[in-house]
Amino acid sequence: MRTFDKILVTGGAGFIGSHLVRNALVEFPNAEIINLDKLTYAGNLENLKDIESNPKYSFVKGDICDLEFVKQLFEDYHFDLVVHLAAESHVDRSIENPFAFLHTNILGTANLLHTVVKSDHDCLFYHVSTDEVYGSLGETGLFTESTSYDPRSPYSASKASSDHLVRAFYHTYGLPVLISNCSNNYGPYQFPEKLIPLVIHNFLNQKSVPVYGDGLNVRDWLYVEDHVKAIFAILKKGRIGETYNIGGNAERTNIDIVSRIGEIIDNIEGRTYNNYKEYVTFVKDRPGHDRRYAIDCTKISKELEWNPSVTMKKGLEQTIKWYLTNKNWLDNVTSGDYRSYYKKQYGDFK
C-alpha cells in the first residue's frame, strides 16, 4: 500500500479537486497537501472554507501553463505525488473557445510532466481524465480500458492528448504514472453550468431549464465522493502505468434527470404536481453531442475492490439538499461574488 508525504493537487479549488483535497487530509493524515490552482471562473476557494486553516493544507495560486512557475514550485516543495485535475472542463465552453482547453489541458499537463521528469525526486504522477476520450456509444456496449480513443469535442480531444502525453512520459522516461477515466460526476460544489446543478438552480428560481436536442442522450452518473474514493484506491494499490475506468453504473437519459430533479424540487417547495414541466425547454442540440456514455468498471472492481456506493436516488437527494442548504454558495457563484473570496481571506496577490 503506497503512502505519500508531500502531495501536489492541481485544480483543488474546482468541483472534484475540492472533494479530493478535503478527503486527502483524512486519507493521508501525515502528508502535506498543496493545492495549486489558477482560480479561473471554475475555481472557488469557498469550496475549501472548512479546511483552509488546517496546518497540513496550503493553497498556491498559479498557472500550470507557466513552466518557470511550475519548476520553482517543484524546487520549493519536493513532491512525491502529483494528482493532476486542473483543466478546462466544460464541453460547451470548448466549443466556444477551444484554445483555452488546448493550453491548459495539453500544454499545462506537458509542463507538469516535464517538470516531474526533470526533478531529482521520485514522484508519482496521477492523471484524472474522462470517459469522453472514448467517443460516443450506440444503444448497447460499454467503454472498457481497451476501447479505442475517439474524442469528438475540443474538450475531449484535449483530454485525450493529455492522456497520450502521460503514457508517452511513462514509456519514454520511465515516469511512474496512473490514469483514471471517469464518467459524469455530480454532488456538492459543482459549478452551475453543468447539467445537474444548472437544473437545480433554474428550477429553484423558476427559470427555464434548457434540454439539448431530444433529451435522450445518456450519461453514466457518479457521485463525486465515490469518485474520490476510487482515486484513493488507485493511488494506494493501482498498478503503475495502468489505466482504470471509473463509473457509477447509473445510466440515465438527460430528460430522466431533469424530470426527477423537477419532481423532488416541486415536492420540497410545496408546488403543485408537475409544476416543473412549465420550465422544461427543449433547445437546439449541442454540436457533435455524444449520444451515450457508459463505463465498464470490472477492472477497478476486481483489482482494487472499488464499487460505487451511493445510488443515484440517494445521491440526487443529497445533492439537492446541499444546494438548498447552501443557497449562499450558489448565490455567490451566480452573482460573481465568489471571485473576491480569495482577496477577502488572503489579501491581494503579489
Q: Which residues bind ligand NAD (CB under 6 A)?
A: 10-11, 13-17, 37-40, 42-43, 63-65, 85-89, 104, 108, 128-130, 159, 182, 184-185, 191
Min dist CB 89 to ligand NAD, Å, is: 4
d(CA 25, CA 258): 35
Q: Is 155 a catalytic residue?
A: yes
The edge-to-edge listing of strands for the beta sheet with 57-61 is 57-61, 32-37, 6-10, 81-84, 124-130, 177-182, 243-246
Q: Is 278 a catalytic residue?
A: no
d(CA 87, CA 64): 9
- Which stretches of the chain are DSSP H helices? 15-27, 67-76, 91-96, 98-101, 109-118, 154-173, 195-204, 224-237, 254-268, 298-304, 312-325, 327-335, 341-346
C-alpha cell read off for 197 = 446543478
Residue 33, C-beta contacts closer than 8 angstroms, at least 6 positions apart? 7, 9, 12, 21, 24, 25, 56, 57, 58
User: Interface with ligand DAU includes 212 (CB under 6 A)?
Assistant: yes
Kindly tell me which of 35 and 153 has the beta carbon lying closer to ligand DAU.
Answer: 153
Region of 63-71, 89-97, 241-249, 302-310 interacting with ligand DAU (CB under 6 A): 89-97
Min dist CB 275 to ligand NAD, Å, is: 29
Min dist CB 36 to ligand NAD, Å, is: 6
Q: Is 96 a catalytic residue?
A: no
d(CA 160, CA 151): 7
Min dist CB 11 to ligand NAD, Å, is: 3
By CB under 6 A, the residues from 137 to 196 that bind ligand DAU are 183-184, 194-195
Q: Which of 57, 155, 189, 276 is catalytic?
A: 155
Region of 86-94, 140-148, 267-275, 337-345 interacting with ligand DAU (CB under 6 A): 86-94
Q: Which of 131, 225, 226, 251 is catalytic?
A: 131
Contact 162, 127 (CB under 8 A): yes
User: Interface with ligand DAU includes 293 (CB under 6 A)?
Assistant: yes
Residue 215, C-beta contacts closer than 8 angstroms, at least 6 positions apart? 253, 254, 255, 258, 282
Min dist CB 228 to ligand DAU, Å, is: 15
Q: Residues in the site for ligand DAU, rule: CB under 6 A?
A: 89-91, 130-132, 183-184, 194-195, 198, 210-212, 217, 219, 254, 286, 293
- Return the active site residues: 131-132, 155
